[in-house]
Structure formats: C-alpha cells, structure tokens
Amino acid sequence: MTPPIPALDRTDREIVALLQKDARISNKELASKVHLAPSSCHGRVRRLEELGVLRGSHAAVDPKALGVHLRCIVMVRLVDHAEKQTAQLQGYLRELPEVCDLFLIAGHDDLLLHVAVRDTEHLRMLVMDAIGSRPEVADIHTSLIYEHASRGGFPDLIDGPTEALRAAAELGRAR
C-alpha cells in the first residue's frame, strides 16, 4: 500500500497546477510565477517528486504520427471476480502495447480499457483474439472514440468542489 501524501500548501498546489499545464516550463519561469527564488522552487519540485505527487512528465503526441487511426473504449466483464484471476488478466492487459489506459471499475462491467489501433482489422485481432480468448473474460463491448479531449491534468479539489461545479449545481436546483 502506498503511503499517504502529506498535505500540500498553496505554493505546492500552484506548482502542481502550472506543471500540469506545461511540464516543460523552466524552473526560472516557474519560480517567478509562484513568487519563489529559483533554488527554493527547484527544492519544492524535487520534494514533490520524492513524495510521489509529481510522477513524471509527458509529451502530447499526435496518435496518427505513430500509425494510430482508431481509438476505442473496450468494456470487459469477467467470468469470476477472484482477485488472483483479476490481477493476472490486468497484468496481461497492461503488457499489450495497444492498451493505453486500464481501469478496474464497479458496475455491470469490470474493466474499462482505452485502446489505440491502426484499423478495424487490428481492433478485431485485439478484441477477439488477444482479449476475448482469455478464460477470465465473460463478455466484451467495444465503442469507437470519434473525438477525445483531455485537460491534461487533475483539478485541485482540496478545498472541495470547484466554483464552476457549485454554480452549476445551484443553477440545477433553481430549475
């Protein structure tokens, strides 16, 4: 089990927010935006990395540049929910290069996969042969992704729901 992450102060949270928007920002620019000396800012970033708050930086890549022309959501229902079998299947799926994201979920289905493939034949091979033939799998549903938009990070919810959510909820209650 991973140890709990200590509370972040306002400056730490600002650093995290800025790095989520642009992980390539220079330390000097980052320090300026959070009103710290560059050495202090660098120390905070290192501490956030050591604590596991910052877990790497990533490049946004055009999928087509890598031959990916279809992305899909694959919902998998398991035959059995025994932890050993579930863990074995998850380990297997994580090793498939086409599986971009894997979620263990509650509800009708058990796993949600975000997959990337070249074309429909590649998708058929992945879903029917590589995944569907596994003895742990009871059922599969596949949905094509037409468009995908990502914020590229997580909202800061330490203080509770965002103002936008509060306003939308209030508007919904007023109707």
Q: How much is the pTM? A: 0.81
Same domain, 76 and 121: yes
> Which range marks the domain in which residue 108 is found?
63-145
Instruction: Answer for the pair 74, 141: CB distance below 8 angstroms, yes or no.
Output: yes
Asked if 103 and 111 count as a contact pair (C-beta separation under 8 A), the reply is yes
78 in Cβ contact with 134 (< 8 Å): no
pLDDT at 99 (0 to 100):
98
Residue 20 is assigned to a structural domain of this protein = yes
Q: Using one digit for the tens of pLDDT, what is the confidence trace for 12-43?
A: 999 999 999 999 999 999 999 999 999 999 99
Token duo for residue 33: 């935006």
The predicted-structure confidence for 45-84, as pLDDT tens digits, reads as follows 999 999 999 998 888 899 999 999 999 999 999 999 889 8
Structural domains in the chain (count): 2
